[in-house]
């Protein structure tokens, strides 16, 4: 049975009370970092500080490795105050549920690990872009995954993973099962990629979603990978056996359980 709750409503396994109730200390810290860096980036005299902490090609060009971890906490401006406040509200609603389920230590570990892995994947793509098209092609690289955008990506993916069967009333109107938010994040990122042409940023978003899902499900996808590899090996052996049979005229002795196998006929 799926749980049903509005965007910001109350429900078991939902947003934990929407906009009501106390704000966890960890979310206050997160909001403080975002607002503080937004303030720094709004003034010419202090904008250089945020530029040093935001994810840039300097990660590999000059060895600014700290940017792999600091960038999600460096606020992205230029979207307008209304949309910025909407982003903060969404972070609060998803973040409080994720924090309550994971606990403080695992919450921050997930944020840092997912953001770090996503940044490494995006940086590798950026290096390839530079080798193929030159440094000039890196103009808008990483724009899709900067600041609170990456935090939103990770928190929404975490919520969708842990509340897969819950029903969210998106925009208070459209009922969607939480599990579909994983796909929606990829779709929205791709639509943004079409306008920005930020290949590295798109890869970073996809990596963050995949890493979050995998870490919260105990990397059950590893079992799927192993099963797929075993099936591929089995198929390869059957193909090779059929090829040898036709090439050398071998007679294959089949067991009863293999009588319906088309590869051995």
Residue 263 has a pLDDT of 47
Residue 108 has a pLDDT of 95
Q: Per-residue pLDDT for the chain (265 aa), expressed as one digit of tens each?
A: 334 333 343 343 444 445 556 788 999 999 999 999 999 988 999 999 999 999 999 999 999 999 999 999 999 876 677 888 888 988 998 999 999 999 999 999 999 999 999 999 999 999 999 999 888 888 888 999 999 999 999 999 999 999 888 877 666 567 788 888 999 999 999 999 999 999 999 999 999 999 999 999 876 545 555 665 676 777 778 777 776 777 666 555 555 555 555 544 5
Residue 5 has a pLDDT of 37
Residue where the block lists tokens 């509340």: 163
In CATH, what is the architecture of 4-216?
Answer: Up-down Bundle (1.20)
Taking a C-beta distance cutoff of 8 angstroms, is the pair 198, 55 a contact? no
What lies within 8 Å, CB to CB, of 186 at 6+ separation is 205, 206, 209
Q: Where are the domains of the chain?
A: 4-216, 229-264
Question: Measured between alpha carbons, how far is residue 93 from residues 14, 44, 52 in Å?
Answer: 9, 33, 30
Give SS3 for 5.
strand
Residue 23 has a pLDDT of 83
Of 151, 138, 74, nearest to 108 by C-alpha is: 151
């Amino acid at each position: 049975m799926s749980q049903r709750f509005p965007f910001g409503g109350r429900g078991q396994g939902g947003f934990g009370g929407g906009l009501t109730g106390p704000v966890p200390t960890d979310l206050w810290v997160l909001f403080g970092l975002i607002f503080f860096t937004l303030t720094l980036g709004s003034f010419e005299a202090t904008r250089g500080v945020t530029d040093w902490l935001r994810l840039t090609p300097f990660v590999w060009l000059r060895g600014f490795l700290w940017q792999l971890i600091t960038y999600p906490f460096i606020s992205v401006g230029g979207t307008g105050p209304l949309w910025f406040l909407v982003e903060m509200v969404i972070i609060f609603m998803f973040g409080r549920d994720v924090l309550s389920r994971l606990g403080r230590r695992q919450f921050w570990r997930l944020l840092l690990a997912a953001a770090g892995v996503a940044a490494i994947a995006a940086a590798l793509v950026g290096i390839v872009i530079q080798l193929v098209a030159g440094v000039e092609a890196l103009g808008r690289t990483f724009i899709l995954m900067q600041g609170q955008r990456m935090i939103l990506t990770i928190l929404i993916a975490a919520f969708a993973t842990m509340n897969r069967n819950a029903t969210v009333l998106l925009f208070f109107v459209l009922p969607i099962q939480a599990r579909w938010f994983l796909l929606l994040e990829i779709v929205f990122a791709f639509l943004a990629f079409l306008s920005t042409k930020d290949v590295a940023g798109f890869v970073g978003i996809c990596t963050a979603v995949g890493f979050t899902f995998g870490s919260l499900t105990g990397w059950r996808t590893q079992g799927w990978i192993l099963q797929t590899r075993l099936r591929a090996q089995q198929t390869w052996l059957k193909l090779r056996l059929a090829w040898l049979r036709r090439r050398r005229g071998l007679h294959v002795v089949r067991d009863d359980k293999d009588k319906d196998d088309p590869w051995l006929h």
